[in-house]
Amino acid sequence: MKHIRNFSIIAHIDHGKSTLADRFIQYCGGLSDREMDAQVLDSMDIERERGITIKAQTAALRYKARDGQVYNLNLIDTPGHVDFSYEVSRSLSACEGALLVVDASQGVEAQTVANCYTALDLGVEVVPVLNKIDLPAAEPERVCEEIEDIIGIEATDAVRASAKSGIGIEDILETVVQKIPAPEGNPDGPLKALIVDSWFDNYVGVVMLVRVVDGVLRPKDKILFMSTQAQHLCEQVGVFTPKSESRTELRAGEVGFIIAGIKELKSAKVGDTLTLVNNPASEALPGFKEAKSQVFAGLYPVESHDYDALRDALEKLQLNDAALNFEPEVSQALGFGFRCGFLGLLHLEIVQERLEREYDMDLITTAPTVVYEVVMKDGEQIEVENPSKLPDLGKIQEIREPIITSTILVPQDYVGAVMTLCNQKRGVQRNMQYMGRQVMLTYDMPMNEVVMDFFDKLKSTSRGYASLDYEFKEFQPSDLVKLDIMVNGEKVDALSLIVHRSTSVYRGRELASKMRELIPRQMFDIAVQATIGSHIIARETIKALRKNVLAKCYGGDITRKKKLLEKQKAGKKRMKQVGNVEIPQAAFLAILQVS
Ligand code: GTP
């Protein structure tokens, strides 16, 4: 165990984590150059295109250190985005150390800070690394100071590296060996292995990534899941180099995978402890909290006969994404669909994109919403995750909305603008701290304001410099109302929203006028009204238009005519017929454009 080091990389998006991980793999000879297809750790297609690491993966590296000894370095990849902070914490709890990679031309960002604090809380050794020192704009000295000021760890000796040009790679690996402690644990004790991650593989079923804390695990061992008491036969163990390689055993201190013929991801819960049926551990390792859906949206097929296909696709996605929840939902306007729960907005976007790209679904997505706690006058308490399901205000005692604590790091020049934005979004300032050139603002904010478009606004008011991290704090009573949109006198349930009373009239007006822009003119006048209860607060009219595409055909060219009809049909995609009006996808998300 002396020669094992388990570590993660904490980095803000784009600071170079994947590039660095690839360098490690290359340096340690895990893959030939030919196999190093761009960035190997980010294995999913979408990840490669967006450049975001989604699913934690791992690589076991063999490194010959300067002391002549060979060390086994286990790199556990962590996702960098705020939606996936829960995955970060579980990756970190399998490690003794973490490299904090900071872009030397940018500096420390909010998510990095949050992840570092998580690491320090878990007792993980944090080792700073300055990346991108090849850039002319790099300011390693300033960034070192920033790390010391903001995170509070010693950074003067931080390795200066460039993942891109390959500078400092060996120095980093050497620091890993020297600064990060070797794992402790009892190889002779009863097995205790923590499930760090699990996913579904089409060929072998569920694969579990585990950190063995005590004991040894071998194929043919009968394993016991401590939370469910389920038993399975261990079929295969191994490590990722990052290719999968079978091993004869996984010992205390090691990180590797287990395959045990499990068909459902639900049975291999991340955070659960594995032990052996024959020699069980007396207690489980400290578990994780389950990832809870924070953001909800309705997903509806454009063509109603695609409903079954959508359900199949969601089921398949769920095999690989235990954080995705869904249940059937019926909307008067949109028909049969699903209400889905996500970790955050990025998670929603990724799911939506995978459904469209990998499963070829045409979807209508309703505006994202948070979950509300509603206390009824008769004392009953319900959770509302779909605005159109909010009971009549007359029957409601109290509505409580989720509040988050957000941490924003922003250069001093933009503090004023960011504070104004936070106030607009009903934020309550909790703290403000100058840290070198940056300021750390802490605000309590209603989550429903944040799921709208807070992040984009934050970026635009700070020219992209501000960074945000948030966590759920509590539910708080709030003066909320339901805003409905009526199209030609009919309420469109999928367009209902829950908003704060203070902004409801303004938002209603803005929304109605946005609808006028977004809903295409049709053969008749369309009235769009925004209402709160029985009050109409805004009205817009979409004037009729006689749209006759065939008029352009000048006479009889039939192929031309067909083409035009074809084109018109394609243009209809992502439109939903609601009553006699066609409403495009964009209209369902119009609220995101209303501040
Ligand atoms: P996520 O996967 O989104 O979390 O990002 P990441 O932190 O893994 O960043 P990634 O490795 O994808 O790098 C982001 C960008 O920075 C890429 O365009 C890299 O080529 C570039 N980059 C990474 N390291 C260096 C470096 O040392 N110098 C320079 N100049 N560019 C770098």
Whether residue 133 contacts residue 90, with contact meaning beta carbons closer than 8 Å, is answered with no
Atom of ligand 1 at shortest range from CA of 11 = 7
| Same fold across 4-179 and 192-276 | no
What spacing in Å lies between the alpha carbon of 19 and ligand 1's midpoint? 6
DSSP secondary structure letters along 390-449:
PPPGGGEEEEEEEEEEEEEEEEGGGHHHHHHHHHHTT-EEEEEEEETTEEEEEEEEEHHH
Binding residues: 14-19, 131-134
The mean pLDDT of 386-396, rounded to a whole number, is 89
CA 52 to centroid of ligand 1, rounded, Å: 10
Q: Which residues define the annotated binding site for GTP? A: 14-19, 131-134
State which of 8, 10, 12, 18 you would mutate to test the pocket of ligand 1, scoring each by most atoms of that ligand within 8 A of its C-beta: 18
In this prediction the ipTM stands at 0.96
CATH of domain 372-478: 3.30.70.240
Confidence category of residue 88, pLDDT binned at 50, 70, 90:
confident
Average pLDDT, the chain: 85
Domain boundary assignment for the chain = 4-179, 192-276, 295-366, 372-478, 482-593
Q: What pLDDT is stored for residue 36 in this prediction?
A: 53
Q: Which residues line ligand 1 (CB under 6 A)?
A: 11, 13-19, 42, 51-53, 80, 131-132, 134-135, 162-164
The closest alpha carbon to 251, from 308, 194, 205, 191, belongs to 191
Given this model, what pLDDT does residue 56 score?
46
Pick the CATH number of 295-366 from 3.30.70.20, 3.30.70.870, 3.20.20.60, 3.30.980.20: 3.30.70.870
Instruction: List beta partners, residue 131.
Output: 103
Q: Is the pLDDT of residue 305 over 80?
A: yes
Give 486 Cα–ligand 1 centroid separation in angstroms. 47
Q: 229 with 239: CB under 8 angstroms? A: no
pLDDT of 8 higher than 60: yes
Q: How many angstroms separate the Cα of 412 from the Cα of each of 152, 433, 462, 465, 467?
A: 20, 11, 10, 10, 13
Name which of 209-213, 456-460, 563-567 the model is least confident about: 563-567
Average pLDDT over residues 107-119: 84
Q: In CATH, which of 3.40.50.620, 3.40.50.720, 3.30.2130.10, 3.40.50.300 is domain 4-179?
A: 3.40.50.300
**Mean pLDDT value across residues 416-432:** 94
pLDDT one-digit tens code per residue, 37-86:
555 555 555 555 554 444 446 788 889 899 989 999 999 877 656 566 66
* CA dist., res. 140 & res. 337, Å (int): 52
The region of weakest confidence among 104-108, 210-214, 239-243, 516-520 is 239-243
Q: Which of 237-241, 282-286, 465-469, 551-555 is the most confident on average?
A: 237-241
Amino acid code (one letter) for 162: S
325/501 Cα distance (integer angstroms): 30
**CA–centroid distance, residue 48 to ligand 1 (Å):** 12
- The larger pLDDT score, comparing residue 27 to residue 591, is at 27
> Which residue minimizes the CA distance to atom 3 of ligand 1?
52
* Candidate from 206-210, 264-268, 527-531 with smallest mean pLDDT: 264-268
What is the whole-number distance in angstroms between the Cα of residue 13 and the centre of ligand 1? 8
What is the model's pLDDT at position 81?
60
| DSSP per-residue codes, 21-87 | HHHHHHHTTSS-GGG--S-SS--SHHHHHHT---S--EEEEEEE-TTS-EEEEEEE----SGGGHHH
**Inter-CA distances, 192 with 185, 215, 250, Å:** 10, 6, 11
Residue 86, token pair as written in the block: 């829960």
The model's pLDDT over 152-167, given as tens digits with 9 standing for 90+, comes to 899 988 999 999 999 9
What separation in Å is there between the alpha carbon of 368 and the centre of ligand 1?
A: 30
**Residue 143: what pLDDT?**
93
Tell which one of 44, 159, 164, 165 to mutate to probe ligand 1, the residue whose CB is within 8 A of the most ligand atoms: 164
Distance 17 CA to ligand 1 centre (A): 6
* Average pLDDT of the segment spanning 213-236: 93
Percent of all residues in the chain with a pLDDT value above 70, rounded to a whole number: 88
Supply the residue whose CA is at minimum distance from atom 19 of ligand 1: 16
Tell me if 266 sits within 8 A of 322, measured CB to CB: yes
**pLDDT at residue 394, rounded to an integer:** 86
The structure tokens listed for 131 are: 């990346």
Q: What pLDDT score does 316 carry?
A: 83
Q: Given a cut of 50, is residue 259 above it in pLDDT? A: yes
pLDDT at 354: 87
Q: Kindly give the number of the ligand 1 atom that is closest to the alpha carbon of 21.
A: 11
Q: What is the mean pLDDT of residues 470-496?
A: 90
Pocket mutation for ligand 1, best pick of 15, 19, 101 (most atoms within 8 Å of C-beta): 19
pLDDT tens-digit map of 318-375: 876 777 889 999 988 888 999 999 888 878 888 988 898 888 888 888 888 999 999 9
Residue 567 pLDDT: 53
Cα of 266 to ligand 1 centre, how many Å?
34
Contact 299, 340 (CB under 8 A): yes
DSSP 3-state assignment of 176? Answer: helix
State the burial class of residue 506 (Cβ atoms within 10 Å of its Cβ: 0-12, 13-18, 19+). middle
> What is residue 481's predicted lDDT score, i.e. its pLDDT?
92
Fill in the amino acid letter for 280: P
Mean pLDDT, range 95-116, rounded to an integer: 89
Superfamily of domain 192-276: Translation factors (2.40.30.10)
- State which ligand 1 atom lies nearest to the alpha carbon of 22: 11
Residue-wise pLDDT tens digits, 549-583: 555 545 555 565 565 556 555 544 567 777 778 88
Q: Report the nearest-CA residue for atom 21 of ligand 1.
A: 16
Q: What is the pLDDT of residue 58?
A: 77
Inform me whether the pLDDT recorded for 302 exceeds 50: yes
What are 253's two structure tokens? 């201190």
**Which of 252-256, 268-272, 551-555 is most confident?**
252-256
- What pLDDT shows up at residue 501? 92
> What pLDDT is recorded for position 55?
46
Q: Under CATH, which architecture does the 482-593 domain have?
A: 2-Layer Sandwich (3.30)
